[in-house]
Amino acid sequence: MMVTMIAPLHLVALAVLSSLGYVAYLVIYRLYFHPLRHFPGPKLAAATLWYEIFNDWFRGPYPGSTWNIDHLHRQYGPIIRKAPNEISIQDPDYLDTFFAGGRRDRYSRQGGEGQGSVQGTLLASDHKRRRGALTRFFSKRSLTTLEPQIVEKVEQLSERIEEGFLKTGNVLEAGVAFGALTLDVITDYCFDQSFGCLQKPDLAPEWRHIFWQMLGSIPLLRNWTFVADMLFWVPQAVARWANPSMEQFFIMEAENQAKVLQVTKEWEADQVAKSEGRDPEKRGKRTIFYDILDSPSLLPKDKTTKRMTEEAFGMVVAGGYTTGKAMSNLIYRLHANPEWLAKVREELDSVMKSPHDPVTLAELQALPILTACVKENLRISKIIADNILMVEPDHALVYKDWVIPPGTAIAMNLYHMHMDENIYPEPTVFKPERWIEAAATGQDLDKYFAPFSKGPRGCLGVNLANAQMYLGMGVILRRFNFELFDVVEERDVRTMRDCFVGLESPESKGVRFKVVGTRE
């Protein structure tokens, strides 16, 4: 009897000793024999991923390793070893080399192919193919056909503001209002059927809560991606019990999947009609996801319902939340700096003599003060707060005197570039004049300006985002007068959390206004 009890104890002891031995071997290898052993940085970061996980999730008051990375660069210099297999470079002049024409793969600690969206695709070859199939929908040329749709949605927003907030005295949350605009634009463009936020008197504030809850979980999911994977095979009732906010995720997932399935059904019906020699059913317009299914350049794995649902998820979050957040921040900053609000309105009055005069995107983008305010707001808003990780699988890269071995993950952070005081003096201050002065002196500030990322890995919808910002802000500011309502910048506006997208404090009440009148 004693012998049978001892044997399992020996096995447990052996397992514990083996685990400790492996950990000791791993730490010694990473510190003294790893190809990155000579790069500067804290030894704890070189030894274990737990250093970054601690800073990303447990170190307060809010999660986000981005803030600690900036501290490390100030301590160790422009290149550091931030994790056992990862380097971080904080040098704006290296950005073009970093992206290098789309030849680099994106990096994930979990490996594999990554998520199905263009944004989440890891391999450069897959990314090029998937992005190429979508480029025409988001080009500057496409805006000539899309502009009337944006204008129509802006008019709907204007009607909601007048009926639901000006006449009633209700408080308007800018993030909800502009989020309703951008969400309806992107979903209508993707599926030929919007989520209908602008049809609701309250502008569907639940969608902002959905985005808020989902993005707030990013610091956890980027370190333990198996948690995200579990969501797709754990019963939804269990996931809801473990985390009630997952209800919002499932709502959005169901919406996106239903729309993808509807488009797939329409496409399949058209293929049957063609095979039988009949004309396909006439539809209002070809949508993005119909084109994905119809694209000869895409592979079957690019056209699965799962991948297209993930693509839809990425487009809805990027197109529906980030642009609305930027517009909300801009209207706040203009009202917090009334001298700039007056200058912008003077420009708007020059192209719209009366509040309801039609105006084109080209006319608004030609206004220098409005453009300076849009750019300065994007710079300071920290739309993308997270590190972007890329890897060159086959060749060594060189940064100054440092040779970075092939297969090394390299991180750069756009937020830190936009906060570089050598490029942008007083970087935390809203100073649109810096853009006006740069244009007058020939200084190329745009070289160091990438609020939606840059190059082939940059945001696919940047032209659409800009169009909505100019048309939406131009029309709404021309027509209405607002007063800030209980807005505290540190609580409600300033980015405090690195959740890939920069988020405000969890205590934020949003950027709120009273609509106090119309302009003549």
Quote the tokens at residue 470: 């100019």
Give the angle 208-213-217 at the CA atoms, nearest 5°: 145
Give the angle 469-386-205 at the CA atoms, nearest 5°: 45
CA distance 344 to 65: 37
Number of Cβ within a 10 Å radius of residue 374: 24
Using alpha carbons, select from 138, 173, 179 the residue that is nearest to residue 472: 179
CA distance 470 to 372: 12
Number of Cβ within a 10 Å radius of residue 280: 13
Beta bridge partners of 501: 384, 499
Which long-range contacts (C-beta less than 8 Å, at least 24 apart) are formed by 428-431?
A: 428/380, 430/333, 430/336, 430/337, 430/340, 430/376, 430/377, 430/380, 431/376
Using alpha carbons, select from 422, 415, 338, 339 the residue that is nearest to residue 380: 415
- Residue labelled with tokens 């422009």: 78
Is 459 annotated among the ligand-binding residues?
A: yes
Backbone angles phi, psi at 220, to 5 degrees: -75, -45
Using alpha carbons, select from 322, 312, 291 the residue that is nearest to residue 116: 312
Annotated binding-site residues read 459
Annotated binding-site residues for heme read 459
